Amino acid sequence: MLTRNVAAPSSLCPILPYDWQFQVSDQLLFPHNLNPNLNRCCSTRKIKGFRLMANFWESIRSGILKNNAIQIVEPASTLQEEEDPVPEEFVLVEKSHPDGEVQQIIFSSGGDVDVYELQALCDKVGWPRRPLSKLATALQNSYMVAALHLVRKLPDQEGNEEKKLIGMARATSDHAFNATIWDVLVDPSYQGQGLGKAMVEKMIRTLLQRDIGNITLFADSKVVEFYQNLGFEPDPEGIKGMFWYPRY
Amino acid sequence: MLSRGIISNFRTPAIPFPTTCKYSISDKDLESRGFILRRTISDLNLDHLNSVFVAVGFPRRDPEKIKLALEHTQSLLWVEHKRSQKPVAFARATGDGVFNSIIWDVVVDASFQGIGLGKAVMERLIEELLEKGICNIALYSEPRVLGFYRPLGFVSDPDGIRGMVYSRKQKKKK
């Protein structure tokens, strides 16, 4: 059982103003043991990526500290954030085990999803099986496929790492006006940490940056509140979602 | 389950159209009344289409963006008025090509409403999607046209599923 080195009082991660310093951002992003590998994978993104990640970290950290409520933290400068290009891949969470093993949860929006792994993940959350070939086609035809991978770097094996799919969400779009988010799922073993929230939030930001202004989805009644907390409104102005001869 | 584009069983849906005539108005009838059904964007004048959108209350959109949207649209159908050669009805659907599809931009020119053109376009669009094997067909309906979609077979909020839209202005804070 891993212990997480997360012990951050709410004052430690304030929302930083626009012109923060790079050095400061290191400390605020991840708890303790800053992995040099983190800098490697993020160094090309420059400061801006870290600014974005801080808010993700803040919301995840809040989610960890508060057991139930996942809190949305309003960024100091929304406009600035939307102007910064969202990196296609970055480390969302990092945990260090006393024996030296490092676990990272990596977000990617490049569509790097193994369809067999996805099938297994869908099984884990209890969704009915869908034909593999259709799953693969659906992914190919999706405008954006976001994924969460758990990467475990073992201490004694240099360069050897395990990578496991633990979350996915995808969006279809006409590339201009509308996008619809489908199939949001997180491995039950990793739920409750704010990962789903982070994934969807990042998707939204990417879509908005690509100037796709109408972001929609259909939510089961149980998760309407989850999406409301992310900024989605049910039935705006009385507009209703409708389905053709739905089978329940 | 619908939000994930899964139907709970995989049986082929029965086509709910009467067996004698597939559609409410046949292609032939439409043609005899002076309308041609089109299924591609060739010959579609986007400025004319944009005018129809604006006339029914859509915001005026950049024609280049409309072109981009149409190029990335799974299926579309429009009705051309023979005499004026203008589009008078339109609908399109986007999706992943296997599980889910959403219908957008359903419009009928105000001067040609009430004669079954909207229905004609919708019936054919749905059939095209079904033929591709897509069983999850959804759309977002303004309240005043719920009565247009219901007779076509659409159900709002089935099983408590809610359509949601992202709003930059509002964010619920706990």
Please give the domain boundaries of chain B with CATH numbers for all domains.
27-154 (3.40.630.30)
Whole-prediction pTM: 0.76
pLDDT, residue A161, reads 85
pLDDT in tens, B49-85: 999 999 999 988 999 999 999 999 999 999 999 999 9
Residue A192 Ramachandran class (φ > 0 left, ψ -120 to 50 alpha, else beta): left
The more confident residue out of A14 and A98 is A98
Whichever domain contains A150, its CATH number is 3.40.630.30
Joined together, the tokens standing for residue A196 give 């789903």
Residues 176-215 of A with CB under 8 A from B: 176-178, 180, 182-183, 204, 208, 214-215
Check pLDDT > 60 for residue B113.
yes
**B143 close to A (CB below 8 A):** yes
Mean pLDDT of chain A: 76
Distance between A82 CA and the closest CA of chain B, angstroms: 11
Q: Which of B3, B97, B173 sits opposite A137 (nearest CB)?
A: B97
B contact residues 83-112, partner A, Cβ 8 Å cutoff: 94-100, 102, 104
How far A149 CA sits from the closest chain B CA (Å)?
Answer: 21
Asked if the structure places residue A47 within a domain, the reply is yes
Both structure tokens of A71: 């809190």
Q: Do B95 and A234 touch (CB under 8 A)?
A: no
Residue A99's domain comprises 2-76+85-238
Say whether pLDDT at B157 is over 70: yes
Which residues are A91's β-sheet partners?
Answer: A106
Q: How far is CA A196 from the centre of its chain?
A: 6
User: A239, B161: Cβ pair inside 8 Å?
Assistant: no
- How confident is the model over B7-38, as pLDDT tens digits? 444 445 555 555 456 899 999 999 999 999 99
Quote the pLDDT of residue B5.
Answer: 52
Q: How many domains does chain A have?
A: 1
The closest CB to that of B173, out of A72, A174, A183, belongs to A72
B114 touching chain A per CB within 8 A: no
A36-58 pLDDT, tens per residue?
333 333 333 333 344 444 445 55
Answer whether B164 sits within 8 Å of A130, measured CB to CB: no
B149 classed as catalytic? yes
Is 90 exceeded by the pLDDT of residue B131?
yes
Q: Is the pLDDT of residue A172 over 90?
A: yes
Q: CA dihedral in degrees (A19, A23, A24, A27; nearest 10)?
A: 150
Distance CA A73, CA A96 (A): 26
More confident position, A72 or A217: A217
Q: Which amino acid is at A38?
A: L
Whether A198 and A56 have beta carbons less than 8 Å apart is answered as yes
Cα angle, residue A94 at apex, residues A92 and A96 outer, rounded to 5°: 175
* pLDDT exceeds 50 at position A26: no
Tell me: pLDDT of B152 over 80.
yes
| Overall average pLDDT of the B93-117 stretch | 96
